[in-house]
Amino acid sequence: MSQQESNDINQKRENSFTDKDNSEEQIQKKLEKSNDSQGMQNKKEIFLITGNKNKLLEFQQILANTHLELSSANVDLPELQGNPEEIAKEKAMIAFKEAKKPVIVEDTSLCFNAFNGLPGPYIKWFLQELKPAGLHKILAGFEDKTGYAQCIITYMSEELKEPVCFVGRTPGTIVEPRGPQNFGWDPIFQPDGYDQTYAELPKEEKNKISHRFRAIDKMVEYFRQ
C-alpha cells in the first residue's frame, strides 16, 4: 500500500469519528455510559459495539442463558473494503482503539453462490438501494438461487496480538420476500430444511439455527475456557 493510500485510509477513519453523531466526544460518552452496567458477579462481561438494534436484540436473546453478560454501545463503526474476515478484524481494531477495553464487533454477510459469495459483506448497501424484492430479482438470470448467511464476530483485547474471529454460517435459498420486513434481508432468506423464511420463522426458531447463533455459540465456548 502506498503512503498516500495509507494516509487516505487514516483520514477516512478520522472523518468517520468526527461526523455529527459520531464525534470522538459522543463515542466516548456512549462508551463511558456502557461502563455503568458493570459490577456483575460470576458472569463474564462482553462488550459489543454495533449500530444495529436488531443484531443487539438477537445477541441478548441468544446469550440469555449463558455465562456471558452483554453490555453494548450504539456506534456505527467504519468498515473498510476487503474480504469478510479482513473487514471484521479491522472493525474490531478500530473498536478496541476507541473503547480502550476488550470489545467484540460483528459483521454480517449475505452471499449468493451464483455470484461466488457476493454481495457478501457489502449486502448492507445492496439492501439499502434494492430492498429485499430487488435483491431476489438480481438472481433472475441465474439458475442457482442458493447462498448462505454468514456472521463473523471478532474479539479484541490487550492480551491479543490480533483479533480472534468466530464464524457462523447458515446455508439457504434466496426467495421472493415473505414475512415481516422489520429486519434487513430476513424475508428473502429461507434456511435449508425449512419452508419458511427467516422473517416468517418465530424468533426462537431463527435463533436456534441462524448464522448469528452459530458464531455466538463458538464465542461462548471460547470464553468458557
Ligand X SMILES: O=c1[nH]c(=O)c2ncn([C@@H]3O[C@H](COP(=O)(O)OP(=O)(O)OP(=O)(O)O)[C@@H](O)[C@H]3O)c2[nH]1
Nearest distance from C-beta of residue 123 to ligand X, angstroms: 5
Instruction: Based on the shown chain and the rule CB under 6 A, indicate whether residue 52 belongs to the binding site for ligand X.
Output: yes
Is 72 a binder of ligand X (CB under 6 A)? no
The DSSP bridge pattern shows strands 44-49 and 68-73 to be: parallel
DSSP label at residue 117: T
> C-beta of 3: minimal distance to ligand X in Å?
29
In angstroms, the CA 150 to CA 108 distance is 6
Region binding ligand X by CB under 6 A among candidate stretches 16-24, 50-58, 111-119, 171-179? 50-58
Q: Is 90 in the site for ligand X (CB under 6 A)?
A: no
Q: What letters, b where the CB count within 10 A reaches 16 and e where it falls short, cover 104-125? A: bbbbbbbbbbbeebebbbebbe
Q: Which of residues 121-150 bind ligand X (CB under 6 A)?
A: 123-124, 127
**Under rule CB under 6 A, residue 180 binds ligand X:** no
Q: How far is the CB of 211 from ligand X (least distance, A)?
A: 7
- Binding residue for ligand X, selected from 120, 163, 177, 184, defined by CB under 6 A: 184
Contact between residue 171 and residue 192 where contact means Cβ atoms under 8 Å apart: yes
CB of 2 to ligand X, least distance (A): 27
- C-alpha radius of gyration, the chain, whole number: 18
CB neighbour burial string for 22-35, b if at least 16 within 10 angstroms, e if fewer:
beeeebeebbeebe
Contact residues for ligand X, defined by CB under 6 A: 50-52, 55, 76-77, 79, 106-108, 123-124, 127, 183-186, 198, 212
